[in-house]
Structure 1
Amino acid sequence: MNDRGGGSFVAVRRISQGLERGSVYHSSSAEVVAGSAAWLGRGLSCVCAQGRDSDARPSFDLTPAQEDCLERLQNRIDVSYDSSIPHHQEALKDLWKLAFPEQELHGVVSNQWKEMGWQGKDPSTDFRGGGFISLENLLYFARKFSKSFQDLLRKQVGDRSVWEYPFAVAGINITFMLIQMLDLEAVKPRSVVGETFLRFLSVNESAFDLLYCIAFKLMDQQWLSMRASYMEFNTVMKSTRRQLEREIMVEDITRLEDLPSYSLLSQ
């Protein structure tokens, strides 16, 4: 797997309840604050590495279909974002069009990206935390659940903190958290959660992308219910992971659409 390095974050100050559609948010020194905690890669070890001794299980035997699905997903995870690859650049431009259809992007390197919650003017520097699959996750979210995507992007729901989490960087963190939670870097799953997810994946090859959407919406709900601010992001992520694990392990859950948190995507 690729080494995903750490980074710093920028917390975005909420100027209003949410950005109105068609409005443009320009950050200034008075509207952002740099934090010292790492949001990407190894900096998330406190969020993602939550295995407990009681959770330890031997590797599960997989069916040939499950092995194939897992291999395809792991191949996706192995792909780093590379700004020199035209397909990757086009995917990034597509994300902008889905996020801000009313606003033209002036370049793949542009200060406009900060409006989406990237740390700087070049999103490629943030993708080291989740690879190309994290961009694919965001694209899937924007296409499949456009209303929820826009609500989270523009912070349109709930009574929010003055200092909000940056949307895009949070999205990369969610990809990284799910990879670790599901133990997808292992040859075979070593936990009940990972084994159960493979059953979902064997009947729906988009299961990882769908779980990503559920996790993002659940994280935002936890953020609001905890009245969190940017320094509590890791705490919110831990709570989100625990809730996902509990829901996935419910015995009568046979598909991701049966998870209680899936209903959040229709709100």
Structure 2
Amino acid sequence: MDDRGGSFVAVRRISQGLERGSVYHSSSAEVVAGSAAWLGRGLSCVCVQGRDGDPRPSFDLTPAQEECLQRLQSRIDVAYDSSISQHQEALKDLWKLAFPEEELHGIVSEQWKEMGWQGKDPSTDFRGGGFISLENLLYFARQFPKSFQDLLRKQVGDRSVWEYPFAVAGINITFMLIQMLDLEAVKPRSIVGETFLRFLSVNESAFDLLYCIAFKLMDQQWLSMRASYMEFNTVMKSTRRQLEREIMVEDITCLEDLPSYSLLSQ
């Protein structure tokens, strides 16, 4: 989606199994032009990209940081697989947390559209973010249930007639954070990524917590910009820039110190 509204471009995640740190160039097969269907299946990078050839620093990791990064990368590499009972149960758990008083009639059901999936089978949307994007949503629902429900039901603020779909936006946020933090590289190549690993080494749930902060921040930016769904990419770029600024503040020692963390208590 360009910044002027109208059309958008959704780029699929790098395929599973690519060597860490390798250079990836998308071909025309990886770029999907979209229209009124909004964020096409197999989502989407909607974040700020550096220019090819820009010099990128490389940071040495402590053994603890390297171990934490490898564990997080192992999570990122897990694709959602609807044939795995654990994945099915996790998806059912998400429904129970989202709609505790409404019974789900099937793992494939029109009911899923109520949560903001694009169709009746959420598994087709997970191709963009993998199983970790479901884990992120579950963490958000369990740790910050009020904020989760506020965003799911669009209960805060003067909302647009054309709102972003909650679940699909959540997958976009997972993918945006993976790119922003350069988590598919062998080691971080940006100050933001290096700083995040320091947070991760003392809090194994740092990625999930940052996801919750990012989701609330995105919604705040959405409201302040009076955006509708055609401006979603613009809002995501703004969200990423704000997160990067906050993470790089010198006296920030943990994610709870980020100014946007306070949004989770509102």
Fold shared per TM-score above 0.5: yes
Deviations 1:81-105 (A, max 9, x none): 0000000000000000000000000
Greater mean deviation of Cα atoms: 73-82 or 11-20: 11-20
Specify whether residues 88 and 256 from structure 1 end up closer, same or farther in structure 2 by C-alpha distance, changes over 3 A only: same
**In 2, are the aligned partners of 1:66 and 1:201 still within 8 Å (CA)?**
yes
Greater mean deviation of Cα atoms: 53-62 or 246-255: 53-62
Question: Aligned-residue CA RMSD in angstroms?
Answer: 11.0
**In 1, are the aligned partners of 2:42 and 2:126 still within 8 Å (CA)?**
no
**In 1, are the aligned partners of 2:77 and 2:130 still within 8 Å (CA)?**
yes
Specify whether residues 66 and 226 from structure 1 end up closer, same or farther in structure 2 by C-alpha distance, changes over 3 A only: same
**In 1, are the aligned partners of 2:222 and 2:235 still within 8 Å (CA)?**
yes
Specify whether residues 2 and 69 from structure 1 end up closer, same or farther in structure 2 by C-alpha distance, changes over 3 A only: farther
Offset of residue 12 of structure 1: 22
**In 2, are the aligned partners of 1:37 and 1:43 still within 8 Å (CA)?**
no
Match of residue 110 from structure 1 = 109
- The TM-score normalised by the length of structure 1 is 0.84
Specify whether residues 139 and 147 from structure 1 end up closer, same or farther in structure 2 by C-alpha distance, changes over 3 A only: same
**In 2, are the aligned partners of 1:2 and 1:80 still within 8 Å (CA)?**
no
Offset of residue 29 of structure 1: 31
Specify whether residues 13 and 61 from structure 1 end up closer, same or farther in structure 2 by C-alpha distance, changes over 3 A only: closer
Specify whether residues 227 and 21 from structure 1 end up closer, same or farther in structure 2 by C-alpha distance, changes over 3 A only: farther
Specify whether residues 156 and 29 from structure 1 end up closer, same or farther in structure 2 by C-alpha distance, changes over 3 A only: farther
**In 1, are the aligned partners of 2:108 and 2:120 still within 8 Å (CA)?**
yes
**In 2, are the aligned partners of 1:22 and 1:102 still within 8 Å (CA)?**
no
Specify whether residues 9 and 53 from structure 1 end up closer, same or farther in structure 2 by C-alpha distance, changes over 3 A only: closer
**In 2, are the aligned partners of 1:17 and 1:160 still within 8 Å (CA)?**
no
Offset of residue 113 of structure 1: 0.1
Tell me, in whole angstroms, the C-alpha distance in 2 between the residues paired with 1:26 and 1:195. Answer: 24
Match of residue 3 from structure 1 = 3
Deviations 1:145-187 (A, max 9, x none): 0000000000000001000000000000000000000000000
Specify whether residues 14 and 128 from structure 1 end up closer, same or farther in structure 2 by C-alpha distance, changes over 3 A only: closer
Specify whether residues 151 and 241 from structure 1 end up closer, same or farther in structure 2 by C-alpha distance, changes over 3 A only: same
Offset of residue 51 of structure 1: 2.2
Name the count of aligned residue pairs.
266
Tell me, in whole angstroms, the C-alpha distance in 2 between the residues paired with 1:20 and 1:156. Answer: 43
- The TM-score normalised by the length of structure 2 is 0.84
Tell me, in whole angstroms, the C-alpha distance in 1 between the residues paired with 2:139 and 2:241. Answer: 24
SS in 2 for 1:43: coil
Deviations 1:214-263 (A, max 9, x none): 00000000000000000000000000000000000000000000000000
Greater mean deviation of Cα atoms: 118-127 or 45-54: 45-54
**In 2, are the aligned partners of 1:218 and 1:240 still within 8 Å (CA)?**
yes
Offset of residue 48 of structure 1: 2.4
Specify whether residues 251 and 21 from structure 1 end up closer, same or farther in structure 2 by C-alpha distance, changes over 3 A only: closer
Offset of residue 59 of structure 1: 1.2
Question: What are structure 2's unaligned runs of at least 5 residues?
Answer: none
Question: What are structure 1's unaligned runs of at least 5 residues?
Answer: none
Offset of residue 16 of structure 1: 39
Offset of residue 47 of structure 1: 2.4
